[in-house]
Amino acid sequence: MTIVTRFAPSPTGLLHLGHAYSALLGWHAARDTSGKFLLRIEDIDASRCRAEFVTTIMQDLLWLGLDWDGDVRHQSQHLADYIAAIERLKDMGVIYPCFCTRAAIKAEIDAAGGAPHGADGPLYPGTCRKLSPAESNRRMQMGEAFALRLDTAKAAAKAGKLFWEEQGRGRIRAEPATQGDVVLARKDAPTSYHLAVTVDDALQGVTLVTRGTDLFPSTHIHRLLQALLGYATPIYRHHELLTDISGRRFAKRDNAVSLRALREDGRSPKEVRALAGFAQGPGPSAQILTT
């Protein structure tokens, strides 16, 4: 099997060492096996994504010595692919419109004394799942804002038992119920991360997904979507997250030191690759900084 990996940043800020580690890991996995390394720009969120960050992402990767194969896929240019997937899921009867605001969801959870938690906090309690099709259609026609949620229990029952292969861990049983009825699209946005990444990986022929352990829980949903949509399932490798000297993982929201700043500070590509845990040579050292 030809290894096809991808690096898929969102252009909402500058790349940092954590991004460098993830990109290098995927790049080496492809290049060390004569495979392909793809670059994808996840720019669905128009309110936060900026064109200047797209340019900087490409400049930083090339400066690090990372090249990619084929054209860069910009999610914002492929909305029709996500809409088509949504229509297929509608035909299966496994998605439903949700009119709940965040405040309303929180109030219902508080009134119930809490709710099961997923990777992103309390799970949606399924309020709008109980609405009749007639009521849902009436509210949509009235122009109410809504999201399209996956009826996870119904979808899982349709798909049956599911597994994926995790490098270093073997066969993992998919348990999508642990993530609840996730949002797949909104009235004003034809896709969410869960749907877009699943569609993109399938259409681009990705065979190995390398990404951080923070996204491991999402794989339960992605595996379910793959089964529903008839997509092949890649192998996954959820890697450790790079941390700073205090043990806090690098993140844009914490203003982590960017690759651009390191570059402007006079660091060489070789030095930055080493800081990200990769020695000069044919493969990664895989030594994550802890000091």
Residue 83, helix vs strand vs coil: helix
Strand partners, 121: 118
* Tens of pLDDT, residues 151-160: 999 999 999 9
Global confidence as pTM: 0.88
CATH of segment(s) 4-76+196-275: 3.40.50.620
- Chain center to CA of 15: 16
Whole-angstrom distance, CA of residue 114 vs CA of residue 108: 9
Asked if residue 177 has pLDDT above 60, the reply is yes
Strand order, beta sheet including 208-212: 170-173, 163-166, 235-239, 208-212
The predicted pLDDT at position 245 comes to 59
Pair of tokens at residue 26: 């995927």
Query: What does the angle CA 224 – CA 190 – CA 219 come to, to the nearest 5 degrees?
Result: 25
Mean pLDDT of 106-135: 78
Whole-angstrom distance, CA of residue 255 vs CA of residue 250: 8
Mean pLDDT of 206-228: 97
The predicted pLDDT at position 108 comes to 73
The predicted pLDDT at position 187 comes to 78
Q: DSSP label at 242?
A: P
The predicted pLDDT at position 150 comes to 98
Domain ranges of the chain: 4-76+196-275, 80-186
User: Are the C-beta atoms of 205 and 179 separated by less than 8 Å?
Assistant: no
**Tokens 């004394």 -> residue:** 113
Question: Beta strands of the chain (E only): which ranges?
Answer: 4-7, 36-41, 73-74, 95-98, 117-118, 121-122, 147-150, 163-166, 170-173, 183-186, 208-212, 235-239
Confidence of residue 244 (pLDDT cuts 50, 70, 90): low
* Tens of pLDDT, residues 144-153: 999 999 999 9
Query: Could you tell me which residues come within 8 angstroms of residue 142 by beta carbon, excluding any fewer than 6 positions away?
Result: none
Asked if residue 216 has pLDDT above 60, the reply is yes
CATH number 3.40.630.30 is the correct assignment for the domain at 80-186: no
The predicted pLDDT at position 248 comes to 61
